[in-house]
Structure 1
Amino acid sequence: MFHRLGHFVVKRAWWVIAAWVIGMIAIAATAPKISAQTDEASFLPKHYESIQAAELQEKAFPTSFTPSAYALFERNDGGALTEKDKADIARITQGLTDKKIDSVQQVVPVSAETTSKNGQYALSPIAIDKAKQQDSKEFGDIAKQIRDDGKALAQGTDVKFQLGGPAAQALDQQDASGSADAIIAMSTVLLVAVIVGIIFRSVLAGILPLLVSLMFAMPTANGLINYVTKAFDLDSTPVLSAILIVVVLGVGTDYFLFLAFRYRERLRAGDDRKTAVVNAVGRVGEAITSAAGAVTIAFAALVLSSLGMFKALGPGLAIAVVVTAFAALTLAPALLAVIPARAVFWPGKKWMEEPSDARFAALGKVVEKRPALVAVASGGVLVALSLGAVNYNGFFDLAGSSMPKTAESMVVQDKLTNGFSAGAADPAHVYLTGKSGAKLDPAAFESYAAELGKVEGVAAAPAEPKVSKDGVTADFAVVFKDSPESNAAIDAVTDLRDVAHAKAPAGTEAKVGGKSAILKDINLAMTHDYQLVFPVAGLLILLILGLQLRSVVAPWYLMASVGLGFTATLGAATVLFQNIKGEPGMMFMMPILIYLFVVAIGTDYNILIIARLREEAREGRSPREAAREALRHGGPTVAAAGFILAASFATFMLAGNVFMLEFGFAMAFGIVVAAFVMAMFFTPSITALLGRKAWWPGHGAMPDHGPEAIGEREPEPAGRV
């Protein structure tokens, strides 16, 4: 099939290139614009208690609001606020009200309750139309207007105006994300161009994967993602844009290398240029398709997630991989077919000489002679690294971890923690409601609040809650001792819910909401996802491997090695960031991201090596000889692809925030493990040990030798180099 595809592309190369140009421009130009969401609650299904509590709040307290932003006031010299300062603050807050900024519903004046005990800070909560929170760009634009106007009003006074809260975080995240995306994109492009150029000793070879991935695959994928997002009313997450750059360029470069190495190998074997392209597509097309299928399945499995952010991430990445693989199998061969080979590998002078590949030949001989020792050693490394995963602890401050600590919203958050009770700025809310619309008995409020106040981790619970106009619902604003994003506050939600439900007066029911409750429910949703998404993705990848290899044995140890790669990566990251660096935990989404990227992309290298192992075995070599030859010929490709992709992911560490630092290290480390431990040592050594059993039940039909063994035939020459 892939030989036929190669023939088609080579014979109609200019038509293929023209079709890509027209298709890319049409899709990119007509695609709808999609804005990312940053509101945590928007990612949770409605059956979670925190979402039900939010709906109850809107119904019972329509004029009440959870602040979307906080204006924080302090003196420029850091001293206590004077009476003159308080008068200036009142003038500033009134000035913001008089500005009538679009979608700003209320600017609450500073009061004694919103002034810190030491008199150093004053806080003005700001309400913004909740509908605007669904669009992070619009939400951030409103924050920018408030911030600019507030600072202008504060000029000429001794008071400093700073804006924090969710809206300000959305604005600062946009700025941080934009600069991070630019840094990641430029660094990745430079790395790919330089490393691929060095590998092939060629200028054009370093440019071609960039041309295919960035000029064609990326805009096409972005357009299709926007079409699908709008058509199926999916959420969009700001995390997608940065990850998409590396996925498209990294995976695209991998597939280009798979093709280019085999193309050069066929040229050295005596094929003319066009025949070499056809044979290259025919020999690696199945590996590229299977690898892309595994990655696509792993990403697409995220649609089963109960969290909107992963539902948004999964389809987008899956579409990007499909587009990139299609470009690798059509556009890249078409370009190689029309560009003279000497130009592709210029100015290298020895590209037609067969290298000794001494390093990889030596590795192959080690695996050939001592496969058991290699299997135990490589497996032992993976198991040892996996032990660190036992101490993994999730952390939920996504906003704080995805932008620099110097961002204004982060500075405000730190000052709120220092100047007020850590949980005062965003308390939990216990909504007590009479069943069947019955009115509440105020006499029970004090004792109920006292029970809530006894919960470990609670700093205060009001004895006199806010009561709805119809008297059916009461809102107890419970202040935690710790900040709402902290694990301590999130853990306290469990006990608070237990007490709130159990101690609710007869004829009433309670719902617990607020930011900490939302994060608690996100944690519960993640646990659900681990139990569903992981197994489904694993089983589907297992099926793809089985179909590609026509075996029921090899896929199992391939998946076992990839699973060990996942736990080893999580363990290494946990040791580095929690045990050595002293972080309270890693971002809560890190395990599922590691699983998907390491399992999916790491499987690429296993697929490439196992496909070469099968090819060598079908040409009549013994299992150990096949392992030796597979490493000799396939090792350079895996090493080059793994190094480039690991380096690409490492560029995330330059973004300047904790989340990208953790993500970049984990992905780079996982790819190194996948390429240089699993694919180089573990997989070939296990295959060599199992021998023909690895290919059961397909080994019975395995001929002794000849290209026909893998369903190939050498095509007629199609042109000259």
Structure 2
Amino acid sequence: MFAALGGFVVRRPWWVILAWVIAAGVVIGLAPKLTSSTDEKSFLPESYESVRASDLRSEDFPQQENIGAVIVFQRSDGTPMTAADSAEVARISASVQARGIKDVLAVTPGQVSPNGLVQTSTVAMPEITDPNDETPQDAVEAMRKDVKAQVAGTGLSAGITGQAAQALDERESSESAGTLVAVGTIVIIVLLLLIIFRSPIIALLPVVIIGLIAPMATGLIASANKIFDMKADSSIEQLLTVVLFGVGTDYVLFLLFRYREVLREGDDAKNGMVHAVSRVGEAIASAAAAVIVAFAALTLSTLGMLRSMGPALAIAVFVTLLAGLTLVPAVVSLLGTRVFWPSKSWRVTPHGSGFARLGRGIGRRPAVFAVSSALVMGVLAIGALGYKANFDLAGSSLPSDKESVVAMKNLEKGFPPGTTDPTEVYLTSTSTTGRPLTPAERAPFEAALPRVEGVGSVTEAVLSADGRTAFYSVVLSDSPATDDALSTIKDRLRPIMHKAAPPGTRALVGGISAVYVDINRAVDRDYSVVFPVAAVCIMIILGLLLRSLVAPWYLMASVALGFGATLGATSVLFQRIGDQPGLMFMLPVIMYLFVVALGTDYNILMVSRLREEAREGHNPHDAAAVAVKHSGPTIAAAGVILAGTFATLMLAGNSTLSQMGFALSSGIAIAAFIMALIFTPSLTALIGHAAWWPGHGDTGPAGEKQRETERVV
């Protein structure tokens, strides 16, 4: 099949290129804009309590003021606030409100903190119902300019924090991150390809081709999101950049290395490309299929951000696969050997390379290499025991110099950390007769609420218009995203208030801390569903490719070991050395899928070559030596480029993307240089022909002859 595809592309390269240009133009021209969301609550199913509480608020308290932002005032010299300072706060608050900024409903000065160091003004804004609506963020931007101008010369300093302010800083950070990631990705790919092939044409080839298909993939993703009403996480555009360029460059390398190899064996340029596609096409298609099904498994997640991320990345990889099997061969077949210009090294097979020596070492002592590589991954995996999840995607992911982060730290000098994001507690009547709540029903509930450990303060009850629901604003003693705050919600506040609700009523606990608790629960559920489904699907693909029931098991075991090593290294770096509160809560899911799927790419390339060499008549040890010699340069080059590409996420100045960048880049490095180059070939050499049972995919005419010889001996 792949030989036929290669023959068609080589015979009609201009048709293939024209078809891609037309398809890209149609998709880009008709596709809607790709939008994203940073609202964690919008990604949870309606069955979770925090979402039900939010729905109750919208229904029974449509006019309830939502604290969208908080202006934090303090004296520039760090001394306590004076009466004159408070008068200035009141004047500035009234002035900001008088400006009539859209979505700013009221600006209300608060009391000075008990220690006198801080005073706040709360900014009432409409509750965010459309995660793509940037009006609240624009309002904060306007307020910041106004407040900065008005505090000048007053002896006060001020900053704005809160949900809308964090969303604004996140938007600005993401915009700059996108530019940095895109530029860094292209620079790394071009430089590394120049070093590897010493050809400017090859260095620019992936950039030009992927530059064409990237807008096409984005357009298809945006169309799918619109059709299926999916929401994209705010980090999806940065991920798309590295996935398209990283995976796309991998597939270009797989093809070009094999193309160069067959040219060295004497094939002409045209037949050489057909031969390369026929030999490496199955490996590329299988590798892409493993990535696609791993990403598609995210559709089983209960979290909307992961459900939308999975199909988006799967679409990107599928488009990249099609380009790798059609567009890239078409372009290279037109260029012929000129693609390697000005280098002449493609004509001569190097002797005595490091990969040849590594292959010979693995062939002679596979047990030593298998045990050593397993020990390295096992030691790194120990660090995963200290893994902790962090659910504050907006606040903790921002650079420390962003205004919302600085203002929050200043706020905590005088007020409980939960002031900006109070927890919402509701007591609502479940009576079918429409009977309102009575004071007698509310009394024991209200008495129990402030006695819950971890609750800092509770406001007076606010009744709905029909009197059926009472709302209480609760400030926790701890910052909303901390483990202590989440423990307060999960272990104490919810159980106690559910129990305290009298017969005929129901208690609901909402707010951002409750959202984080529900996200934690959803992620735990996803671990037990998404991981196994992705693993089973990849094993099926491996089994079909290798016609074996044995090899998929130890290949997936090696990938699982690589996953543990990656999580361990990331946990140690960011939690112990970096002293961060935890890793982004969805990082293990993303990391598992990337490391498992993309790591399987390299395993597939290596094990395909192992089978090919066995079919040529080599015994298992010699097959490992030859496979490492020939596939080693490809896997190493692809691993370096893909790891470098993911590492560009660390340029974003955003701790969430930095964690993701380190985890994925180190995971790819482990998958390429330890797992695929050492562990897989050495273990396959140890297992021998049994690795291909029951299909004996290593048996070709020469391989069968070799096995007969071994049986005679």
Give the TM-score band, short-chain normalised: over 0.9
The Cα shift of 1:347 comes to 2.0
Structure 2 counterpart of 1:502 = 499
In the superposition, relative to structure 1, how do residues 512 and 357 fare at CA in structure 2: closer, same or farther (>3 Å)?
A: farther
Q: Distance in 1 between matches of 2:136 and 2:311?
A: 25
Q: Is the partner of 2:347 in helix, strand or coil? A: coil
Say whether the 8 Å CA contact 1:132–1:138 is kept in structure 2.
no
Structure 1 counterpart of 2:711 = none
The Cα shift of 1:336 comes to 0.6
Q: Distance in 1 between matches of 2:395 and 2:58?
A: 27
| 1:187-220 deviation digits (Å, cap 9, x = unpaired) | 111111011111111111111111111x212111
Q: How does 1:616-695 map to 2 (within 5 A)?
A: 616-695=613-692
Amino acid of the residue matched to residue 586 of structure 1? L
Q: Distance in 2 between matches of 1:700 and 1:628?
A: 18
Say whether the 8 Å CA contact 1:136–1:170 is kept in structure 2.
no
Q: Distance in 2 between matches of 1:181 and 1:678?
A: 31
Q: Is the partner of 2:545 in helix, strand or coil? A: helix
Q: Distance in 2 between matches of 1:166 and 1:700?
A: 58
Structure 1 counterpart of 2:250 = 254
Structure 2 counterpart of 1:44 = 44
Structure 2 counterpart of 1:586 = 583
Matched, 1:513 2:510: yes
Amino acid of the residue matched to residue 229 of structure 1? N
Q: Distance in 2 between matches of 1:185 and 1:700?
A: 41
Q: How does 1:290-689 map to 2 (within 5 A)?
A: 290-341=286-337, 343-436=338-431, 437-462=434-459, 464-494=460-490, 495-689=492-686
The Cα shift of 1:128 comes to 2.7
Structure 2 counterpart of 1:713 = none
| 1:36-71 deviation digits (Å, cap 9, x = unpaired) | 111111011100001111111122222113312222
Q: Distance in 2 between matches of 1:672 and 1:332?
A: 25
Q: Is the partner of 2:508 in helix, strand or coil? A: strand
Structure 2 counterpart of 1:268 = 264
Amino acid of the residue matched to residue 28 of structure 2? A
Amino acid of the residue matched to residue 102 of structure 2? D
Q: Is the partner of 2:682 in helix, strand or coil? A: helix
The Cα shift of 1:444 comes to 4.9
The Cα shift of 1:34 comes to 3.0
In the superposition, relative to structure 1, how do residues 339 and 27 fare at CA in structure 2: closer, same or farther (>3 Å)?
A: same
Q: Is the partner of 1:124 in helix, strand or coil? A: strand
Structure 2 counterpart of 1:71 = 71
Structure 1 counterpart of 2:206 = 209
In the superposition, relative to structure 1, how do residues 392 and 121 fare at CA in structure 2: closer, same or farther (>3 Å)?
A: same
Q: How does 1:142-153 map to 2 (within 5 A)?
A: 142-153=139-150
Amino acid of the residue matched to residue 110 of structure 1? P
Amino acid of the residue matched to residue 368 of structure 2? L
Say whether the 8 Å CA contact 1:38–1:136 is kept in structure 2.
no
Q: 54-63 or 696-705: which moved more?
A: 696-705
In the superposition, relative to structure 1, how do residues 111 and 384 fare at CA in structure 2: closer, same or farther (>3 Å)?
A: closer
Q: Distance in 2 between matches of 1:377 and 1:442?
A: 71
Say whether the 8 Å CA contact 2:570–2:663 is kept in structure 1.
yes
In the superposition, relative to structure 1, how do residues 19 and 483 fare at CA in structure 2: closer, same or farther (>3 Å)?
A: same
RMSD: 1.9
Give the aligned length: 702
Matched, 1:109 2:108: yes
Q: Distance in 2 between matches of 1:461 and 1:131?
A: 24
Say whether the 8 Å CA contact 1:204–1:345 is kept in structure 2.
yes
| 1:321-375 deviation digits (Å, cap 9, x = unpaired) | 111111111111111111131x311221322011125211111112111122222
Q: 93-102 or 41-50: which moved more?
A: 93-102
Structure 2 runs not aligned, ≥5 long: 707-713
Matched, 1:288 2:284: yes
Structure 2 counterpart of 1:32 = 32
Paired residue for 1:224, among 211, 220, 223? 220
Q: Distance in 2 between matches of 1:571 and 1:108?
A: 47
Q: Distance in 1 between matches of 2:110 and 2:120?
A: 8
Q: Distance in 2 between matches of 1:682 and 1:700?
A: 20
Say whether the 8 Å CA contact 1:37–1:136 is kept in structure 2.
no
Structure 1 runs not aligned, ≥5 long: 710-721
Q: 669-678 or 179-188: which moved more?
A: 179-188
Q: How does 1:236-247 map to 2 (within 5 A)?
A: 236-247=232-243
The Cα shift of 1:138 comes to 4.0
In the superposition, relative to structure 1, how do residues 110 and 700 fare at CA in structure 2: closer, same or farther (>3 Å)?
A: closer
Q: 76-85 or 390-399: which moved more?
A: 76-85
Say whether the 8 Å CA contact 1:36–1:136 is kept in structure 2.
no
Q: Distance in 1 between matches of 2:561 and 2:69?
A: 44
Structure 2 counterpart of 1:277 = 273
Q: 19-28 or 83-92: which moved more?
A: 83-92
The Cα shift of 1:304 comes to 1.0
Structure 2 counterpart of 1:715 = none
Q: Distance in 2 between matches of 1:473 and 1:649?
A: 49
Q: 227-236 or 76-85: which moved more?
A: 76-85
Q: Among the aligned pairs, what percent are the same residue?
A: 49
Q: How does 1:59-208 map to 2 (within 5 A)?
A: 59-104=59-104, 106-112=105-111, 115-131=112-128, 133-135=130-132, 137-155=134-152, 157-208=154-205
| 1:669-711 deviation digits (Å, cap 9, x = unpaired) | 111110011101111112112211111121178223399x9xx
Q: Distance in 2 between matches of 1:674 and 1:544?
A: 18
Q: 664-673 or 652-661: which moved more?
A: 652-661
Q: Distance in 1 between matches of 2:190 and 2:703?
A: 37
Q: Is the partner of 2:159 in helix, strand or coil? A: strand
In the superposition, relative to structure 1, how do residues 63 and 136 fare at CA in structure 2: closer, same or farther (>3 Å)?
A: closer
Q: 280-289 or 353-362: which moved more?
A: 353-362
Q: Distance in 2 between matches of 1:363 and 1:219?
A: 41
Amino acid of the residue matched to residue 109 of structure 2? V
Q: Distance in 2 between matches of 1:703 and 1:22?
A: 43
Q: Is the partner of 2:362 in helix, strand or coil? A: helix
The Cα shift of 1:148 comes to 2.8
Q: Distance in 2 between matches of 1:155 and 1:20?
A: 58
The Cα shift of 1:383 comes to 1.8
